[in-house]
Amino acid sequence: MKNYEKYKKGYFMPPVTSMNWASKDSIDESPIWCSVDLRDGNQSLIIPMDLEKKIEFFTFLVSLGFKEIEVGFPAASETEFNLLRRLIEEDLIPDDVTIQVLTQSREHIIKRTFEALKGAKNAVVHLYNSTSVAQREQVFKKSKSEIIALGVTGAKLLNEYANNTEGNFRFEYSPESFTGTEMEFALEICNEVLEVWKPTSEKKVIINLPSTVQVSMPHVYASQIEYISSNLKFRDNVIISIHPHNDRGTAVAEAELGLLAGAQRVEGTLFGNGERTGNVDIITLALNMFSQGINPNLNLENIPHIVSFYEKMTCMEVSQRHPYSGELVFAAFSGSHQDAIAKGMEYHDNNNLNDWRVPYLPLDPKDIGREYASDVIRINSQSGKGGIGFLLKENYGYDLPPKMREDLGYTIKNISDKLNKELKSDEIYELFKKDYINNETTIKLIDYHFVRNGNFHVTMECEIDGIVKTYTGIGNGRLDAVANALKSNLNVDYSIQTYSEHSLEIGSDSLAAAYVGITVDNKIVWGVGVNHDIINASIKALISAINRK
Ligand SMILES: CC(=O)SCCNC(=O)CCNC(=O)[C@H](O)C(C)(C)COP(=O)(O)OP(=O)(O)OC[C@H]1O[C@@H](n2cnc3c(N)ncnc32)[C@H](O)[C@@H]1OP(=O)(O)O
Ligand SMILES: CC(C)C(=O)C(=O)O
Ligand SMILES: [Mg+2]
């Protein structure tokens, strides 16, 4: 590619890098989550949400278990302002939920923000100003000390307006564009703001360290967080928050390493909506923790519902490969994966395993509202007997003998290959039913009765080409007698290779399924019989096999 020389590193490693985070291999507890869907998420939509949508979204975030929610930028517009008034005046904020609002360090904006917040039971006022080299030079055209003065002035104004406004307020400060800032300077400005606010254990301050624009590998961000976390004043009374964006596609990695490095709080959005490539996806982060045995303290048991709500509200789409939430992320089309998953599930059932270890599935899809049969095992020309057998068992109760699974597996995948499309579970069942179950294409069973006289003697009536015929036969069992009757009268040469049966537990009242495999010309041909009576089912299975040969 041309032009690569145009780009230089735009980040700064801290002066000291202990990298203690690198020796930890897991996150031990869930952080404080702060949803910024209604602010960062909303400010990046083509059409921002209207007031009613925002209230509905807020209520939804509360139902998911968020205790801190950035609801907007009240000075931005009438809608944003009115949202605050509605939430407060109509008492829509549960007592254990803290709302958060964003403001620039400009007095008229801070004033308007507090007007919106009047009467708030619990609110975080989030002040930001940009600190990176690029923003200082190009946008603000200010020296470092002038940038510090901007932050400090804003911090003082927050003190002043909070003292004069009814409500309970805590403060948050973000050195916006933190990742493009020299770390000593980022530390200095945060400490100066903290000196103004003087956090206490009763009134902790949030220092939020955003990767406003991702410019480095995630380990650099982790080292930056660790440096600030270890050198901040009032550290015990400060909550370190992180706010990764996703320009390099590593927001989740940054957040995880940031937590290892000392962050206690994460600002992000559902499915990573947000500026440019988005904010960090809180659902992915939370489910990463969940799948390592950590309670994320969010209610994510119904991901399909969360996806459809989110898509309706934002008009954005969750991609089919989106971790945990995309339509295809648990889907196994390929035969060997399906085989391993089906065996893994059976192993878990048979051994009553509580700890989840099924191959290919990092968590149990059922825990987040997904279905094995429709979300996990999907059938196309890459599929195998294991998956097809699993679907018939899971959805329709047919537990096919292993060799028959193979036979049906090849039949189904060849059909999928020829049609060049996925076959859904009901289509597979229809193909199976039409061809294998109670097949009457040539011979149709009308009636039968047995007499036992040492051996079994059968007299049976069958309809062949519209003509009813009566056959008799003798055998050492009932099916043997029928097999002999058909063999001698129809002049077909076959032998019964395998027989099995079970009751059908799904979609029926006490039906039985019988499976018969006959050898004809060194080839096994299968038939299935289904009836309330097991003898009837087994005779039908044999006739189905003969009809299919
Ligand atoms: C990374 C982030 O997500 S930050 C959040 C960004 N979100 C938003 O901006 C959404 C809401 N914003 C808005 O609706 C508008 O920008 C408003 C209402 C806040 C302000 O509107 P306006 O004053 O008309 O415009 P604008 O934002 O362009 O103002 C730019 C001015 O503010 C200054 N400014 C920008 N950010 C800050 C800040 N955090 N603190 C102090 N001054 C700031 C700029 O330097 C510029 O100054 P200048 O007028 O001397 O050139
Ligand atoms: C306002 C700040 C925290 C922000 O959204 C960012 O830097 O990305
Ligand atoms: Mg942001």
Measured distance CA(181)–CA(12) in Å, rounded: 7
Measured distance CA(414)–CA(35) in Å, rounded: 48
Ligand 2, atom 7: nearest CA belongs to which residue? 212
Asked if residue 537 lies in contact with residue 436, where contact means CB atoms within 8 angstroms, the answer is no
Query: Nearest 10 degrees: CA dihedral of 98, 70, 205, 20?
Result: 110
Q: Which residue has the tokens 């200095």?
A: 188
How many angstroms separate the Cα of 406 from the Cα of each of 117, 305, 409, 420?
Answer: 67, 36, 5, 20
How high is the pLDDT of residue 374?
Answer: 86
Q: Residues 52-76: pLDDT tens digits?
A: 999 999 999 999 999 999 999 999 9
Give the residue extent of every domain in the chain. Answer: 11-297, 335-435, 443-548
**What separation in Å is there between the alpha carbon of 252 and the centre of ligand 2?**
16
Which 3 state secondary structure label does DSSP give 449? Answer: strand
> Regarding the domain with residue range 11-297, which homologous superfamily does it belong to in the CATH classification?
Aldolase class I (3.20.20.70)
Ligand 1, atom 7: nearest CA belongs to which residue? 43
Specify the DSSP class assigned to residue 38. I
Asked if residue 215 lies in contact with residue 2, where contact means CB atoms within 8 angstroms, the answer is no
Q: What is the number of H-type helices and E-type strands within the chain?
A: 17, 14
- How many C-beta atoms lie closer than 10 Å to residue 221's C-beta? 28
- How many C-beta atoms lie closer than 10 Å to residue 470's C-beta? 12
How high is the pLDDT of residue 507?
Answer: 59
Q: Residues 385-429: pLDDT tens digits?
A: 999 999 999 999 999 999 999 999 999 999 999 999 999 999 999
Which 3 state secondary structure label does DSSP give 14? Answer: coil
Mutate to test the pocket of ligand 1, among 104, 112, 247 (most ligand atoms within 8 A of CB): 104
Asked if residue 360 lies in contact with residue 337, where contact means CB atoms within 8 angstroms, the answer is yes
| Residue 508 pLDDT > 60 | no
Residues with CB under 6 A from ligand 1: 40, 43, 73, 75-76, 102, 104-106, 109, 128-129, 139-140, 150, 176, 212
ipTM at complex level: 0.98
**What separation in Å is there between the alpha carbon of 224 and the centre of ligand 2?**
16
Q: Are strands 523-531 and 511-520 parallel, antiparallel or unpaired?
A: antiparallel
What CATH code is assigned to 443-548? 3.30.160.270
How many angstroms separate the Cα of 437 from the Cα of each of 325, 513, 545?
Answer: 37, 9, 9
Question: What confidence tier does 492 reach under pLDDT thresholds 50, 70, 90?
Answer: confident
Average confidence score pLDDT of the chain: 96
| pTM for this model (two decimals) | 0.91
- Report residue 183: phi and psi, to 5°: -65, -35
What average pLDDT does the segment 99-118 reach? 98
Tokens of 340: 């391993």
Question: In the β-sheet with 511-520, what is the strand arrangement from edge to edge?
Answer: 495-504, 511-520, 523-531
Q: Is 35 in the pocket of ligand 2 (CB under 6 A)?
A: no
Q: Is 54 in the pocket of ligand 2 (CB under 6 A)?
A: no
Question: In the β-sheet with 443-453, what is the strand arrangement from edge to edge?
Answer: 443-453, 455-464, 467-475
**Terminal-residue alpha carbon distance, the chain:** 62
Tokens of 105: 């360090």
Ligand 1, atom 43: nearest CA belongs to which residue? 104
Per-residue exposure over 512-540, b if at least 16 CB sit within 10 Å of its own CB, e if not: bbbbbbbbbeeeebbbbbbbeebbbbbbb
Name the residue with higher pLDDT: 506 or 276: 276
- Residues annotated within the binding site for Mg(2+) are 40, 243, 245, 279
Q: Are strands 511-520 and 495-504 parallel, antiparallel or unpaired?
A: antiparallel
Nearest to 462 by CA among 489, 444, 450: 444
How many angstroms separate the Cα of 133 from the Cα of each of 129, 152, 225, 274?
Answer: 13, 18, 18, 23
Alpha helices in 67-143 (DSSP H): 78-89, 107-117, 133-134
Ligand 1, atom 12: nearest CA belongs to which residue? 76
**What separation in Å is there between the alpha carbon of 104 and the centre of ligand 1?**
6
Question: What confidence tier does 491 reach under pLDDT thresholds 50, 70, 90?
Answer: confident
Specify the DSSP class assigned to residue 16. -
Which atom of ligand 1 lies closest to the CA of 75? Answer: 18
Amino acid residing at 77 = S
Measured distance CA(530)–CA(270) in Å, rounded: 48
Q: Is 280 in the pocket of ligand 2 (CB under 6 A)?
A: no
**What separation in Å is there between the alpha carbon of 70 and the centre of ligand 2?**
11
